[in-house]
Amino acid sequence: MSVAAVRRALSETVSGLPREFWWLWTSTLVNRLGAFVATFMALYLTLERGYSASYAGLVAALYGLGGVISSLGGGVMTDRLGRRPTLVIAQGSTAVSVALLGFMQHPVAIAAVACLVGAASNASRPAVQAMMADIVRPEDRVRAFSLNYWAINLGFAISAAGAGFIAEFSYLAGFLIEGAMTAVCAVLIFIKLPESRPERTAKEAAAHNAVGLGTVLRDGRYMGVVGLSFLIALIFQQGAVGLPVAMGAAGFTPADYGMALAVNGVLIVALQIPITRFIEHRDPRRLLVVSSLLAGYGFGLTAFAGSVGVFALTVVVWTLAEIVNAPTQTGLVVRLSPVHGRGRYQGMYTMSWSVAGLIAPLMSGFVIDRWGADLLWGLCAVLGMVTAAGYAALMRALPEGEAGGLPEREAEGGVRTAAAPAPATEVSADQ
């Protein structure tokens, strides 16, 4: 590909998105660039503080539990208070709690503050996704979600590399730097991002007031998507929980695992944008089915891996699934969410990933200890096929407009019907 072709492709990828999106994208990148604590927390607790691996696991579980709780709370705040206030509160709380965690000495205090950090950091996710859906045209959402996902992985790749150097100098410095960078995100959002929540008519306000968490739970079609996202999350989580345990049991070193997993970050950074250009206007039905099969079979093939190179090849397979699935599934979630209930709906979706993050370590450890890693990889392949079949059935039941990516509108009583493409919600500084 020529330089001119690359420039043209890059221009087409980033063009047409509103200024507000890029400020939101920038805040995401800055936030992930400073995500040091999650990377070195286990080492900090075991090496620096001298606690057991069991205690480190307990702290990680409490961190995840905080995220589960705040997924729904952040969604409710997003709808009631607005996207911008929720983001500022969540980011500000994260900055304070992360910095505070670095000074905690007592094990109970460390565990309690870690739970607060998990809750605060996860509360912003429904607001980010709802705001992105508000300000980006429906036909550009897959591209926008993909660019945001790319920023998350780029920032995390850089922060993960820097976390080791910072930890060698001072663990406390890592806590304080992450707190400072998260505070910068809060200030950036407060200054540069106006509120994007669509203005409501009296009828829409009445419909909005009738939308609660019970409404989300009774939305069988949407909860089907949440259930499928939970299954696919269980599969993807094995890259962080099942894979290192299995490689260690097979005699591979942590460095070997790091080399294999590094393929995931490198591929996402290198291929997320070009693959998104390829899938942007393709049928999401097929994309979700194919990505689920790739995820399941990618981890399933791990049962046959006997060298770092083969492990890396399996990582390539499920990373391609991740690249395709992430923006496509997020776009589907937005299309199935009522405009004035996006926060609660996004919160439920976010919670499915948080719950998977809690269950996946327990599942992988239990299966590996009782029956061995090969059964775990076989279960991943089965879960991938079940998820693919679920998406095929669910998407077949959707109206053609919603399945094909046309924007939704709310009819009287909150019933969504397919609508013709329309411009994105206008965002002005005085909203």
Q: What secondary structure does DSSP assign to 81-122, as a single string? A: T-HHHHHHHHHHHHHHHHHHHTT--SHHHHHHHHHHHHHHHH
Over the range 253-280, which residues count as b (16 or more CB within 10 Å of their CB) and which as e? Answer: eeebbebbbebbbebbbeebbebbeebb
Calpha distance 293→389 (Å, rounded): 9
Calpha distance 187→358 (Å, rounded): 31
What pLDDT is recorded for position 8?
A: 63
User: Highest-confidence range of 90-94, 246-250, 397-401, by mean pLDDT?
Assistant: 90-94
Higher pLDDT, 165 or 247: 247
Indicate whether 428 pLDDT > 50. no
Residue 197 pLDDT class (50, 70, 90 cuts): confident
Indicate whether 168 pLDDT > 80. no
Distances (CA, A) of 403 to 284, 325, 333, 413: 7, 15, 11, 22
Decide: 160 and 98 in contact? Cβ < 8 Å. Answer: no
**CA dihedral of 288, 326, 340, 191, whole degrees rounded to 10:** -160
Burial (CB count <10 Å: 0-12, 13-18, 19+), residue 429 = exposed
Give the DSSP H or E segment for 253.
Answer: none
3-state secondary structure of 381: helix
Range with the poorest average pLDDT among 226-240, 328-342, 368-382, 391-405: 391-405
Q: Which is nearest to 74 in space by CA: 279, 336, 349, 293?
A: 349
What's the mean pLDDT in 126-147? 85
Residue 221 pLDDT class (50, 70, 90 cuts): confident
Alpha helices in 280-307 (DSSP H): 284-300
What pLDDT is recorded for position 399?
A: 54
Burial (CB count <10 Å: 0-12, 13-18, 19+), residue 67 = buried
What's the mean pLDDT in 74-99? 90
Residue 112 pLDDT class (50, 70, 90 cuts): very high
Indicate whether 333 pLDDT > 60. yes
Q: Give the domains, in start order, of the chain with CATH numbers.
A: 19-196 (1.20.1250.20), 213-399 (1.20.1250.20)
Residue 331 pLDDT class (50, 70, 90 cuts): confident
